Amino acid sequence: MSTLAYDGTAMLGRQLRRIRNNPGLAILTQTMPITMLLFFGYVFGSALAMPGEEYRAFLVPGLLVATAANGIMTGMFQAAQDSHRGVMDRFRTLPMSRAAVPLGQAVADLVVTAAGTVPLLLVGLAVGWRIEGSALEAVCALGLLLLFRFAATWIGIFLGLLSRSEEAAGQLGSATFMLPLLSNAYIPTDNLPGWLRAVAEWNPISAVSTALRTLFSPKLSASLEQGGAPIAPVPEGAAWPVAHPVAGSLAWCAVLIAVFLPLAVRRYATGGR
């Protein structure tokens, strides 16, 4: 284990140095959601039944989670880029932990994401989103967000190691922007037709978005009863992961990590040989 910790730290340093030397992708993926918040919040928000400010408050947690789901894309892209470089062969011929390279990538991604989330939170606060719960609940919400990012990154690393080329990984990776569209990240799901609602609510993004909404604004439903449209964080008749958002989110993250972390490490270690 100490080998993994030591090698993993060295690989974390490598990834962070790479991102520092070439920060384009990291900056793009972290600033994109701010643009989307303004675009969705003001353009789409004006066409929705609920008041714009409320929609923006609803949207911020969803965008945070949708951005975390981008971990699939960045994970794929970085892993695919790495796996087609000779340097991976060098790592594989070194007497080092087999898990260190992907673990270093996942942790470096987490560090960058944690820092990159701050601007979105600030813009969110500026357009009307509020943290109404306790500090502890807010910290739990952010912790859950990062846990979900970590899980998403492992999906991405595995798919990236499977992909045949950087280009293929880039194309498939950018298709993942559709995943939040089929969830309650941007819109409430209560009015969707039954089967579509089920699909959207079993999307892990929905559980995590709902969990963030409940943790950041536990009194949202109550405050809305005083006149606003009833967008309760947990709609009635929701699927289990959304009806029990915190437990549902933790369960989703546990399942995703339990499946994709070993797959990615194994795939990395064998290099498809």
Partner 1 sequence: MTTTYAVLSEGLEKRFGDVHAVRGLDLAVAEGTVCGVLGPNGAGKTTAVRLLTTLLRPDAGSARVAGHDLVREAAAVRRSIGVTGQYASVDGDLTGRQNLRLFAKLHRVRDAQARAAELLDRFGLTEAADRPASTYSGGMRRRLDLAASLIRRPAVLFLDEPTAGLDPASRNRIWAAVRALKGEGTTVLLTTQYLEEADQLADDIALVDRGRVAHTGSPAELKALIGSYAEVVVAHADAMAQAAAVLDQLTGREPTFAEERHAVGAVTTDPTLTLPRLVRELDAAGVPLLDATVRPPTLDDVFLRLTDDRNETPTDRKELVT
The two tokens of residue 186 are 């941007």
Specify the residue, 85 or 164, whose C-beta has the smaller distance to partner 1.
85
Q: Which stretch binds partner 1 (CB under 8 A): 12-20, 37-45, 141-149, 164-172?
A: 12-20
The two tokens of residue 250 are 């933790």
**DSSP helix/strand/coil, 243:** helix
Quick check: 88 and 104 in contact, CB under 8 A?
no
Outline where the chain has alpha helix (H).
2-21, 24-38, 52-69, 71-83, 86-93, 100-126, 135-162, 166-174, 194-201, 204-216, 220-224, 240-243, 245-270
Number of residues that bind partner 1 (CB under 8 A): 24
According to CB under 8 A, which residues from 57 to 86 bind partner 1? 85-86
Specify the residue, 13 or 119, whose C-beta has the smaller distance to partner 1.
13
CB of 261 to partner 1, least distance (A): 21
- Find the binder of partner 1 among 53, 92, 111, 140 (CB under 8 A): 92
**DSSP helix/strand/coil, 163:** coil
**DSSP helix/strand/coil, 227:** coil
The two tokens of residue 64 are 């945070």
- Find the binder of partner 1 among 1, 2, 24, 95 (CB under 8 A): 95
CB of 271 to partner 1, least distance (A): 7
CB of 15 to partner 1, least distance (A): 9
Task: List, as one string, the DSSP characters of 13-80.
Answer: HHHHHHHHHS-HHHHHHHHHHHHHHHIIIIIIGGGSSS-HHHHHHHHHHHHHHHHHHTHHHHHHHHHH
Q: Which stretch binds partner 1 (CB under 8 A): 14-22, 28-36, 129-137, 171-179?
A: 14-22
Separation of alpha carbons 118 and 24, rounded Å: 18
Q: Which stretch binds partner 1 (CB under 8 A): 4-12, 63-71, 132-140, 164-172?
A: 4-12
- Find the binder of partner 1 among 34, 48, 96, 259 (CB under 8 A): 96
Window 187-226: contact mask with partner 1 (x via CB under 8 A): ----------------------------------------
2 is an interface residue for partner 1 by CB under 8 A = no
Query: Closest Cα partner for 216 from 46, 42, 61?
Result: 61
Quick check: 102 and 121 in contact, CB under 8 A?
no
CB of 20 to partner 1, least distance (A): 10
- Find the binder of partner 1 among 93, 136, 226, 227 (CB under 8 A): 93
Separation of alpha carbons 159 and 79, rounded Å: 8
- Find the binder of partner 1 among 4, 18, 38, 244 (CB under 8 A): 18
For partner 1, the binding residues (CB under 8 A) are 6-7, 10, 13-14, 17-18, 21-22, 85-96, 270-271, 273
